[in-house]
Amino acid sequence: MTITKKTFHVLGMHCDACVQRIQPLVSSLDPLAKVYLQPPSIEISSTISLEQIRKALIDLHSYRIQEEPISVINQSLRTFLPLILIFLGLLILCGWGQVIHGSWDLTLAMRQFMAGFFIIFSSFKLINLRGFVDSYRSYDFLSQRFPFYAWSYPFIELGLGIAYAWGKQFLWLNVFTFFLMLFSAISVYGALKSHRKIPCACLGTVIKLPMTWITFVEDLLMAVMAFGMILSH
């Protein structure tokens, strides 16, 4: 007898760990059920209803199941909405700083942006330091060689944020930031080229984001800003 299958789409599933959380729960409904990451979906017997799946996953609050396909654009917007809001907030902060300054100053704008960036991102990492360390060491080559680097990284970012917020223009600060973000971008690039599905640690584990080229561009942007301020000395 042929078993008819149907597909349910999963919102909020970004990595292999998500698949491993969901698979045993749907397997309890249908031993032949399959959970896929790309696209994020559950393939299961057509005799299983949407409500049965939702009930099985009731303790996993990070995921939402629906029958209609999820628009790639809508899914991306929902996934990266926290990151988008943070960057918009930083741009507004920089714009307000220019208004207070009374004239356009690119160096000041970059310094304010970097101060806000490092303080906000380090704060999210410090909420669950252990979770960040485990996630960061899964792809960062320096952390894999030197575990203490992963533990100290959020504190380094916080220190950089405070230093940039202080308002002084130190050459060593920009040089250090340039190499820090360059090494980070190289690690992200390596993870992306390996095609591994891993979570991004940029906002710790509080806000779960997948590792994408957005992470690479984010790190590279900070390195470029630091390099620009080096040239301004």
pLDDT digits (tens, 9 = 90+) for 13-62: 777 788 888 999 999 998 888 888 767 888 888 788 888 888 888 888 77
Give me the torsion for CA of 204, 205, 210, 214, rounded to 10°. -20
Peptide bond into 69 cis (omega under 30): no
Q: What is the pLDDT of residues 42-55, one digit of tens each?
A: 888 878 888 888 88
Inside any domain, residue 72: no
Inside any domain, residue 26: yes
Give me the domain span that covers residue 143.
79-231
Inside any domain, residue 74: no
Q: Is 37 exposed, middle or buried (0-12, 13-18, 19+ CB in 10 A)?
A: middle
Residue range 204-209: average pLDDT? 80
- DSSP single-letter state for residue 159: H
Closest listed residue to residue 203, CA positions, set 103, 75, 83:
83
Closest listed residue to residue 207, CA positions, set 103, 121, 117:
121
* The total number of structural domains that make up the chain: 2
Same structural domain, 62 and 100:
no
Same structural domain, 146 and 189:
yes
Inside any domain, residue 114: yes
Alpha carbon distance 107, 122 (integer Å): 22
Inside any domain, residue 73: no
Strand, coil or helix: 10:
strand
Same structural domain, 144 and 198:
yes
Same structural domain, 84 and 198:
yes
